[in-house]
Amino acid sequence: MPVHYQLRNSRWHLDGADIDKIVEDEYSHLENEVLDELKKKASTYSTFMLNPERLESVAQDIADHYTDHVEPNKYKAQVVCFTRSACVTIKKHLDKLLGPEVSNIIYTGAQNDDDEMRKYHYSSDEQKSIVRHFKNPENPLKILLVQSMLLTGFDAPVEQVMYLDRPLRDHNLLQAIARTNRPYLNKQCGIIVDYCGVLKHLDKALNFNEEEIESCLIDFDELKEKLPDLIDEFKNIFTGVDITNLWHCLKHIEKNKLEHRVNEVYKKLQITFETIAPDPFVLQFHKDYQWATEIIVALRQLDSNKAPDVSDYLAHTRELIQEHIDISKINKTAPVFVVDDNYLRRIDELPGDKEQREILIEKRLRSLLTVRLNNLPIYETLMERLKKIVAQKDQETQDTLDLLTQLTGDFNDAVKQEEAMGLSKGEIAIQQLVKERVVQYGEADELVEKIAQCVSEQIFPGWQSQLSVHATIKRDIIFELAKYTKEHPEVNLDPDDFSKFSKDAMKYVEKHY
């Protein structure tokens, strides 16, 4: 996973000989004698890095960046501090800004530490517990402050950001960078936020060849360059389509089988947008991103037979949907179509365009049948009918809307029959298979009962893992079919039919018994 870096708070980066200028800029209002004394006191790098005002500024920026960019999508962060005392100082500021439960410190204590430092002299077991809490996405510990510990061999996929306020070099820097690039849900990249300016000169910080450096770290501005490209890639899917018309966009996706492509491009677009937001840079793309999101929300409603669930989206996108997406427009374009005894009236209430009605009914039936597909044989049969109707739609041999309406009624009848039979799903599945494959006309109860009995005699808790039990049940089903066929000459089945029936029956037996 790529890692992007940002240089922050550049007035606190120290570039060697610039320290006199920094002191002059910060304290130019003081008299020359006092200014000279300050320059002497600030003559070391550590004095500069541990400047109380500087650490407070860094802590404030960490809190702001974490609140705006990291926390909304439930990621976590690590702070690499210049010294152990800097860990304690930054932690004190973070406690005021975010609350004491949000952060903790791990370092190795020293005998001469003062009482404030000793507060974080945790035992080995306590440190392990803190690490477990940090790795747990649900735990309130979100930010871990360290000085030299946990920079190597520490794997926490939920960590996306490292706030770097200690100059690291070469392999130590590479190891630290790698803490943020572990794959995790919806995480597009790791982010290094650099407060000490070590990444301003990558060739010096990483004494490797240029290709190695480019493969591990990418300037955050390059991520911004991807956003307009992804917007264009999404728009190009709809070339030649009136993109102001939501239904025309949905119909274009459906007729050209573009659903997978649309979702894939939008996934990249959403993660990139979320990684950058709320940076003002995204504002110029807000309208285009809103349009793309509206299409995705409508497409998912079209497919799922339920109202949009904003929890499926990342934080800034959820906010955009709630504040800027017209859900009533989506409900009008792709209304939720409930299949029940009033299905005829509900179909009449759908939009008047015939093709739009056909697509809406087809998508609803497909989503409903997909959910039930492995429950009972009748739903497989209905799905096959739906596929045939769709395949023959352009041949105009029969009215597609009439066929879909009839199929909707048959689906409703199947659901009602399933609920009214008073049998287990396993028994219903066997009955449906027997009626479809064996006894198409006449009484099927006798054979259904015998097959159900031979199944019940063999099963026990956990039987599905025993291959010998599978084989015995298949054999017994075949035996009952052969016996029934012999007793009923009108049933035209051969041994291959017996084998196929037992194989198909086992799919439902395994699921429901």
pLDDT tens digits, 335-392: 887 888 888 888 888 888 888 999 999 988 998 898 888 888 999 999 999 999 988 8
Both ends of the chain: CA-CA distance in Å? 44
The answer to whether position 451 is within a domain reads yes
The answer to whether position 337 is within a domain reads no
Q: Are residues 197 and 56 part of one domain?
A: yes
The answer to whether position 466 is within a domain reads yes
| Cβ neighbours around 500 below 10 Å, total | 12
The answer to whether position 338 is within a domain reads no
Q: Are residues 95 and 210 part of one domain?
A: yes
Predicted pLDDT at 212: 45
Question: DSSP of 168-179, one letter per residue?
Answer: --HHHHHHHHGG
Q: Are residues 498 and 397 part of one domain?
A: no
Question: Nearest CA to 66 among 193, 177, 225, 184?
Answer: 193
SS3 166: coil
pLDDT at 236 over 80: yes
| Angstrom distance (rounded) from CA 321 to CA 327 | 8
410 lies in which domain range?
343-420
| Angstrom distance (rounded) from CA 164 to CA 143 | 13
Tally of structural domains, the chain: 4
pLDDT at 206 over 50: no
Q: Are residues 125 and 10 part of one domain?
A: yes
Q: Are residues 506 and 452 part of one domain?
A: yes
Instruction: Evaluate whether 411 touches 361 at the Cβ level (below 8 Å).
Output: no
| Angstrom distance (rounded) from CA 178 to CA 175 | 5
Predicted pLDDT at 372: 87
Q: Calculate ∠ Cα 244-248-252, nearest 5°.
A: 125
Predicted pLDDT at 22: 47
Q: Where are the alpha helices (DSSP H) in 136-219?
A: 170-177, 202-205, 210-216
pLDDT at 46 over 90: no
Give this prediction's pTM: 0.68
SS3 381: helix
Q: Are residues 464 and 415 part of one domain?
A: no
Mean pLDDT of 500-508: 89
Instruction: Evaluate whether 165 touches 91 at the Cβ level (below 8 Å).
Output: no
| Angstrom distance (rounded) from CA 183 to CA 199 | 23
The answer to whether position 430 is within a domain reads no
Question: Nearest CA to 259 among 202, 299, 314?
Answer: 299
Q: Are residues 177 and 43 part of one domain?
A: yes
What's the CATH code of the domain at 88?
Answer: 3.40.50.300
Question: Nearest CA to 162 among 49, 2, 5?
Answer: 5
Between 38 and 424, the higher pLDDT residue: 424
Predicted pLDDT at 222: 77
Predicted pLDDT at 103: 97
Name the DSSP letter for residue 374.
Answer: T
Q: Are residues 313 and 368 part of one domain?
A: no
The answer to whether position 425 is within a domain reads no
Q: What does the block give as tokens for 495?
A: 């041994």
Between 125 and 316, the higher pLDDT residue: 125
Average pLDDT, the chain: 84
Estimate to the nearest angstrom the gap between the alpha carbon of 357 and the chain centroid: 31
Predicted pLDDT at 16: 47
| Each residue's pLDDT tens digit, 266-320 | 999 998 898 888 888 889 999 999 999 999 999 999 887 677 778 778 888 888 9
| Each residue's pLDDT tens digit, 3-25 | 788 887 656 555 544 445 544 55
The answer to whether position 379 is within a domain reads yes
Question: Nearest CA to 92 among 117, 123, 67, 68?
Answer: 117
Q: Are residues 281 and 145 part of one domain?
A: no
Predicted pLDDT at 208: 41
Q: Are residues 11 and 146 part of one domain?
A: yes
Q: Which of 307, 330, 353 is the last residue of a domain?
A: 330
The answer to whether position 52 is within a domain reads yes
| Cβ neighbours around 217 below 10 Å, total | 20
Q: Are residues 236 and 208 part of one domain?
A: no
SS3 461: coil
| Cβ neighbours around 118 below 10 Å, total | 11
Instruction: Evaluate whether 347 touches 362 at the Cβ level (below 8 Å).
Output: no
Instruction: Evaluate whether 144 touches 176 at the Cβ level (below 8 Å).
Output: no
Compute the Cα dihedral for 100, 103, 109, 114 and give only its sign: negative
Q: Are residues 464 and 388 part of one domain?
A: no
